[in-house]
Amino acid sequence: MEYDELDGPDGVPIRVPVSDDNYRTCAECGADCYPDPSITVEGQGARIAFVCAEHGVQSLVDPFEGQR
């Protein structure tokens, strides 16, 4: 999967998938999901969940996957 790198807070790069925006689209209703960075797992690093207001979490993105 290809990633686009953006400038994040404090110079920390943020990587998001380039190929398409399906990771942030609800599979049930097609709505644009909002990002929620509060989803974390102990020892698993940072994750950003994309959440549909009606159907819940649709995908998880790890912006630092390539740096581990």
pLDDT single digits (tens) 13-47: 888 767 667 888 999 999 999 998 887 666 666 78
pLDDT score of 52 more than 80: yes
Cα-Cα-Cα-Cα dihedral sign, residues 48, 40, 58, 35: negative
Side-chain half-sphere CA neighbours of 9 within 13 A: 0
- Model pLDDT, residue 12: 82
Q: What is the pTM of this model?
A: 0.58
Separation CA 23–CA 63 (nearest Å): 13
Contact in structure between 63 and 50 (CB atoms under 8 Å): no
